[in-house]
């Protein structure tokens, strides 16, 4: 059984659920299923990232939600910034089919949803921001590739924002982001979750 949420086609018995969750004082509707990450609620790490992320000083350009799952981060940011496009990508085809349902359910139109194994199918190099709640269980090599590959896809002044638990590698991720970008800040800590952010400098 390859039923991990970070695989291309999870082999699962379907059990779709629908539920609501409030983000930015707005009730979002979500459809989830077996074979996706955090199928019963928007996970605490994603919530913490959404709350900490600030679009105010970003350059022009789209936002990339890398490893979108069924879409909570990308949808929230698209709702918050209707003037921007949000690209929502994942390796998991089931998760992407749910993300498509969810953006339709919520009437969100300023998104592109497509398959990509890390940055494999991501061709844009002008992202104002890349956000990710990386799939730690997929292994350190995958997470590291998500962090180091961001710089070449960002516009100058663009940010990479990552949520990781301290016990799941936040300190080593901070070092890697510092080495890659020349800077990395912890912009929020909450219940063991660290929100790390690097800026692409000119």
pLDDT digits (tens, 9 = 90+) for 89-117: 999 888 899 999 999 999 999 999 999 99
**The pTM is what?**
0.91
- pLDDT single digits (tens) 47-90: 999 999 999 999 999 999 999 998 999 999 999 999 999 999 99
**Nearest CA to 72 among 109, 119, 20?**
20
Give the dihedral of Cα atoms 31, 33, 36, 38; nearest 10 deg.
Answer: 70
Q: How far apart are the first and last CA of the chain?
A: 46
- The rounded distance, in Å, linking the Cα atoms of 71 and 13 is 21
Give the total number of structural domains in the chain: 1
- Domain assignment present for residue 185? The answer is yes
**How crowded is residue 57: how many other Cβ atoms within 10 Å of its Cβ?**
9
Q: What pLDDT sits at residue 92?
A: 87
Residue 147 lies in a domain: yes
189 in a domain, yes or no? Answer: yes
**Residue 118 resides in a domain:** yes
pLDDT for residue 1 is more than 50: no
Report yes or no on 67 lying in a domain.
yes
Q: Which pLDDT score, from 0 to 100, does residue 34 have?
A: 65
CATH of the domain at 151: 3.40.50.150
Question: How is residue 25 annotated by DSSP?
Answer: T
The more confident residue out of 3 and 169 is: 169
pLDDT, mean over the chain: 90
Report if residue 8 sits inside a domain. Answer: no
What is 103-172 written as a DSSP string? HHHTT--SEEEEE-STTTT-----EEEEEE---GGG-HHHHHHHHHTSGGGEEEEEEEEEEEEGGGTHHH
Query: Which domain, by its residues, includes 137?
Result: 17-199
Q: Note whether residue 107 is domain-resident.
A: yes
Q: For residue 98, tell me if it sits in a domain.
A: yes
How far apart CA 168 and CA 56 sit, in angstroms, is 29
């Amino acid at each position: 059984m390859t039923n991990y949420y970070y695989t291309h086609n999870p082999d699962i018995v379907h059990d779709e659920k629908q539920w609501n969750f409030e983000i930015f004082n707005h009730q979002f509707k979500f459809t989830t299923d077996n074979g996706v990450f955090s199928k019963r609620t928007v996970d605490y790490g994603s919530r913490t990232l959404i709350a900490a992320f600030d679009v105010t000083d970003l350059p022009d350009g789209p936002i990339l939600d890398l490893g979108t799952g069924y879409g909570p981060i990308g949808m929230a940011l698209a709702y918050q910034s209707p003037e921007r496009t949000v690209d929502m990508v994942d390796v998991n085809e089931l998760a992407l089919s749910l993300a498509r349902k969810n953006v339709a359910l919520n009437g969100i139109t300023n998104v592109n949803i497509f398959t990509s194994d890390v940055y494999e199918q991501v061709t844009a190099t002008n992202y104002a921001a890349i956000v990710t709640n990386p799939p730690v269980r997929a292994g350190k090599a995958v997470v590291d590739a998500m962090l180091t590959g961001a710089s070449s896809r960002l516009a100058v002044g663009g940010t990479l924002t990552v949520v990781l638990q301290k016990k799941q590698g936040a300190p080593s991720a901070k070092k890697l982001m510092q080495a890659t970008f020349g800077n990395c800040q912890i912009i929020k800590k909450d219940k063991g979750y660290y929100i790390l952010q690097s800026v692409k400098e000119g």
